[in-house]
Amino acid sequence: MKNKLFAETQPVAQGWLAVGNGHQLHWQASGNPEGMPVVWLHGGPGSSASPLHRRFFDPAHFWIIQYDQRGCGRSLPAGEIDHNETSDLIADIERLREHLSIPKWSVVGGSWGGALALLYAQAHSERINRMLCRSPFLCTQAEIENFMEHPPEGCREPWLGLQSQVPRDSGQTILEFGYQVFCLEQDVQKQSQLAKAWMAYEAAMNVYPAQAPTMGLTGHDTLIARYKVQSHYLWHRCFVGQNILAHSQLLSAIPLTLVHGERDALCPFENSLEIQRAVPHANLVRVAGGGHDLTDPGMLSATFQALASWG
């Protein structure tokens, strides 16, 4: 089984959890209800749970919890940004744990999910057995500006395609224009066109340094909801008002593994070095030549091996 994911498996339980102000989170559980509970926090912001994520765990030994964050995936209402801030998402993780009657669980988060994992762990460290952060995002202004305005040369073409959506005489940045189109206006045609360009650019950044993928067809309603949530969060610097590691001493009792590709264009490798400086006991797995993409062979292997060590 070394470096090879477990076979596809279907959820054995799922439902919606009302978390207030009209939001309902879609959750699903797979594997063994008597096994080690683990929750996977998806990336984005604006993405959703994936069947791929549960394949990193032996379904005979783990009780695997997945869910879609507010406004994301199958959660309702789709694309809703009212009462949708990071503090709400942290509270939602606890609500889900309590709803499922899980005393303690392990936490896995990648990218934006890694940021949520760090924040959740600092708020509820007593509820966590162990934690893995893959390619964590630290919600800094520099990261957001680099993503939106300073792509590596290999991603410049799709970035120019995204930038071309912004009217030249507007004086707006891509993010400022995106927030206006997705969050303040109701022009579905403009939203759909911008979402497709944004998706192509984000996909290229995700797989860098590999070649940008050919994009398939995706329903425009799904894309609009995704980038409405993403622009809402990025415009507000993910509602993280201070250093995301401000209370890192609260992580001292949690076994923490970091897996990060050294050529990550979305969340720089330096992020994991910064976490390790704040949390010296953290085990950092550096993936040589790896980018951000979880399916990159090196990233996939390192993440699988790290989780396999959990038993």
Residue 215 pLDDT more than 80?
no
Residue type, 247: H
Residue 292 pLDDT more than 80?
yes
Residue 221 pLDDT more than 90?
no
CA distance 150 to 245: 25
What integer pLDDT is reported at residue 1 of this predicted model? 40
What integer pLDDT is reported at residue 301 of this predicted model? 97
Residue 98 pLDDT more than 80?
yes
What integer pLDDT is reported at residue 218 of this predicted model? 63
What integer pLDDT is reported at residue 243 of this predicted model? 92
Banded model confidence at residue 239, pLDDT cuts 50, 70, 90: very high
Interval 101-135: pLDDT, tens = 999 999 999 999 999 999 999 999 999 999 999 99
Q: Are 116 and 86 in contact (CB under 8 A)?
A: yes
Residue 235 pLDDT more than 90?
yes
Banded model confidence at residue 295, pLDDT cuts 50, 70, 90: very high
pTM of the predicted structure, to 2 decimals: 0.96
Average pLDDT of the chain, as a whole number:
96
Q: Are 234 and 202 in contact (CB under 8 A)?
A: no
Banded model confidence at residue 219, pLDDT cuts 50, 70, 90: low
Q: Could you tell me what percent of the chain has a pLDDT over 90?
A: 94
- Report, as an integer, the average pLDDT of 286-311: 96
Catalytic residues: 111, 264, 292
Helix axes 86-99, 112-123, angle to 10 degrees: 70
Q: Could you tell me what percent of the chain has a pLDDT over 70?
A: 97
- Report, as an integer, the average pLDDT of 9-25: 98
- Report, as an integer, the average pLDDT of 237-257: 95
Domains of the chain: 13-139+240-308 (3.40.50.1820), 148-238 (no CATH)
Banded model confidence at residue 4, pLDDT cuts 50, 70, 90: confident
What integer pLDDT is reported at residue 211 of this predicted model? 87
